[in-house]
Amino acid sequence: MSDLAAFRAEIRAWLEENCPAEMRQPARDEDDVCWGGRNFKFKSDAQKAWLERCVAKGYTVPDWPKAYGGAGMSAAEAKVWREEMNRINARPPLSSFGIWMLGPALLKFGTEEQKVHYLGQIARGEIRWCQGYSEPGSGSDLVSLQTFGEDKGDHWVVNGSKIWTSYANKADWIFCLVRTDKANKYQGISFLLFDMTTPGVSTKPILLISGNSPFCETFFDNVVVPKAQIVGELNRGWDVAKYLLGHEREMISGAGGNDRLNTLGPVLSRAGLEDPLLRAEIAMFDVDALAFSAMGEKFLDEAKVGKAHPAQPNMMKYAGTELNKRRYELLMAGGGSAALEWDSEASGGGSKARTWLRTKANSIEGGTSEVMLNVVAKRILDLPGA
């Protein structure tokens, strides 16, 4: 048996023993997702046990070094881990912007002290993070951001506001882009970390078309941030921000997901498949979904060994989010009038309709599809003047 085959057997046996049955089915709604953090309320004992068992082995962040709370898996081992998780439809033990976004940026730009401290907290699900990027006047043109940190010697005093801050009202800490030099557009931004309970921080949820409020406005009124809480160099936060965006776009693209859950035909009701033209559209969608799932696998394989084009996450984000929007259009069509129900018990509180509306943000958040296409045209295709 090869080392990898032995590793697979070990993972399979561990999952068999440790992954609770309740955690072996897709999350039905937002409440089923384990986000961790100071104030997180576990939905069930199984959810709690699943997190704790994974934390003990470093499996919440399998490919991070052991010193920072990971399991130190190689690229090939991490792939085996994902495959074995997908095989039993296991839910991720922990979902977190810390894992998907801040963690990779800290691994690259953080000091050793920051890595040990913050990455460990993330791996253990102790701190829930939110992302302070967009501002009311800075959406696609993110670099025009105005939130300002005034230098006060050993600390900054931050004033300004952010918008579309996902789960800001539930987050414990924020990673935040703050202007620290008004004279320099790109090289005048710093990447700061601070506690959301710091005096002067307040949040206000925004009611969306889905009827839910996953996004907030976030206000900073003379917020004191110690100088040690900067990642990377002063005024060079844009480099950190861009690197993190690559990971955010990868996350939003859904690469590495379970393709058995991504195809539509098998999950639709009979009624939704009786219309031959709808069925045909669903079959065409499933071709694209399965092909994209291979793309996700290829992208992750190549990224791990540095073969992927550095701008490839933009392509992944574009293709993955457009695909997900199509998925929900077809799910709504397949569901018919049953999918219109907004608050009935049968519809799980309108989960399909609300998720359908939520997916419309996929191609806006983290960089719009149009911006993604601009980046691909410029950085990958090298088209003129792009």
Partner 1 sequence: MPLYHTEDQAMLADTARSFMAEEGAIAKQLRHWRDQGCKDGFGHGLWKQFAELGLTGVLVAEADGGLGMGHVEAGIVLEEIGRNLTPSPFLTSAVAAATALGAGNADLRGRYLPGLLAGDSVFAVAIDEGPKHRPERIKTRAARAGNGFRLDGAKSFVLHGGSADMLVVAARTSGNDDDAEGITLFAVPKEAVGLSQDAVRLVDSSMATHVKLDGVLLDADAVIGEVDRGRDLLNKVLAAGRIGAAAESVGVAGGAFGMTATYLKQRKQFGKLIGEFQALQHRAAHLYSEIEIARAATIKAQQLLDGGSDRAELMVSVAKAKAGKAAALAVKEGVQMHGGIGMTDEYDIGLYMKRDRALAEFMGDVYYHAERVAQLTGY
Applying CB under 8 A, which residues contact partner 1? Answer: 75-76, 79, 263, 265-266, 268, 273, 279-280, 282-284, 286-288, 290-292, 294-295, 297-299, 301-302, 305, 307, 315, 318-319, 370, 372-374, 376-377, 380-386
Minimum CB distance to partner 1 smaller for 126 or for 288: 288
Dist. CA 24–CA 165, nearest whole Å: 30
Looking at beta carbons only, is 2 or 197 nearer to partner 1? 2
Q: Smaller CB distance to partner 1: residue 80 or 223?
A: 80
What CA–CA distance (Å, rounded) separates 272 from 279?
A: 8
Assigned token pair, 24? 């072996």
CA dihedral (33, 36, 38, 39) in degrees, to 10, reads 10
Give 348-354's long-range contacts (Cβ < 8 A, gap of 24+): 348/28, 348/29, 349/29, 350/211, 351/28, 351/29, 352/328, 353/210, 354/210, 354/211, 354/212
Q: How far is the CB of 339 from partner 1 (least distance, A)?
A: 18
Query: Of 7 and 118, which has the nearer Cβ to partner 1?
Result: 7
Taking the complex as a whole, the smallest distance from the CB of residue 333 to partner 1 amounts, in Å, to 15
Tokens matching residue 82: 């994902």
Nearest residue (CB) to partner 1, 79 versus 236: 79
User: Hey, what are 233's tokens?
Assistant: 């160099």
Q: Minimum Å distance from CB 157 to partner 1?
A: 41
CB of 318 to partner 1, least distance (A): 6
* CB of 306 vs partner 1, minimal distance in Å: 11
Rounded (10°) CA dihedral 208, 316, 167, 119:
180
* Nearer residue to partner 1 within complex by CB, 37 or 62: 62
CB atoms within 10 A of CB 41: 7
Query: Residue 369 Cβ, how far from partner 1 at the closest point, in Å?
Result: 9
Min dist CB 294 to partner 1, Å, is 4
Task: Decide whether 199 or 384 has the Cβ nearer to partner 1.
Answer: 384
Burial of residue 266 (CB within 10 Å: 0-12, 13-18, 19+) is exposed
Q: Are 348 and 31 in contact (CB under 8 A)?
A: no
